[in-house]
Amino acid sequence: MNIKEQIFEKISEYDTIIIHRHQRPDPDAVGSQMGLGHLIRATFPNKKVYCVGKQYKSFAWLGETDEVSDEDYKDALVIVCDTANQPRVDDNRFNQGKYLIKIDHHPNDDEFGNLMWVNPEASSVSEMIYDLYAANALMKLSDDGARDLYAGIVGDTGRFKYPSTSSHTFKVASGLTKFDFSLNEIAQREDEIDVPLAHLAAYVYQNLKISESGAAYIILTNEIVEKLKLGDDSTSSVVPLPGNIGSVVDWAIFVQQKEGDYRIRLRSKGPSINELAKQHNGGGHALASGAVAKDENEIKQVVAELDQLTKEYNKKGKN
What are the backbone dihedrals phi and psi of residue 193, each rounded to the nearest 5 degrees, phi first?
A: -130, 155
- Mean pLDDT, residues 31-37 taken together: 98
How far is Cα 197 from Cα 25, in angstroms, rounded to an integer?
A: 17
Residue 232 pLDDT > 60, yes or no? no
Residue 130 pLDDT > 60, yes or no? yes
How many helices (H) and strands (E) the chain has is answered by: 11, 11
For residue 89, the 8-state DSSP code is B
Q: What is the pLDDT of residues 165-207, one digit of tens each?
A: 999 999 999 999 999 999 999 999 988 888 888 999 999 999 9
- Mean pLDDT, residues 218-225 taken together: 93
* DSSP-assigned letters across all residues of 104-147: E-S--SS--SSEEEE-TTSS-HHHHHHHHHHT-TT----HHHHH
For residues 291 and 276, is the Cβ–Cβ distance under 8 A? yes
- The closest of 268, 270, 266, 269 to 279, measured between CA atoms, is 266
- Mean pLDDT, residues 222-236 taken together: 78
Query: Residues of 110-145 as b/e, b for ≥16 C-beta within 10 angstroms?
Result: bebbebebbbeebbbbbbbbbbbbeeeeebbbbebb
User: Which domains can be identified in the chain, with CATH numbers?
Assistant: 3-191 (3.90.1640.10), 195-318 (3.10.310.30)
Q: Say what the pLDDT of residue 234 is.
A: 66
| Least confident interval from 33-47, 55-69, 277-291 | 277-291
- Mean pLDDT, residues 78-93 taken together: 95
Q: Say what the pLDDT of residue 228 is.
A: 86
How far is Cα 12 from Cα 260, in angstroms, rounded to an integer?
A: 45
How far is Cα 168 from Cα 152, in angstroms, rounded to an integer?
A: 15
pTM of the full structure: 0.86
Residue 11 pLDDT > 60, yes or no? yes
Q: Which residues make Cβ contacts (< 8 Å) with residue 180, sequence separation at least 6?
A: 143
Q: Say what the pLDDT of residue 131 is.
A: 98
Residue 141 pLDDT > 60, yes or no? yes
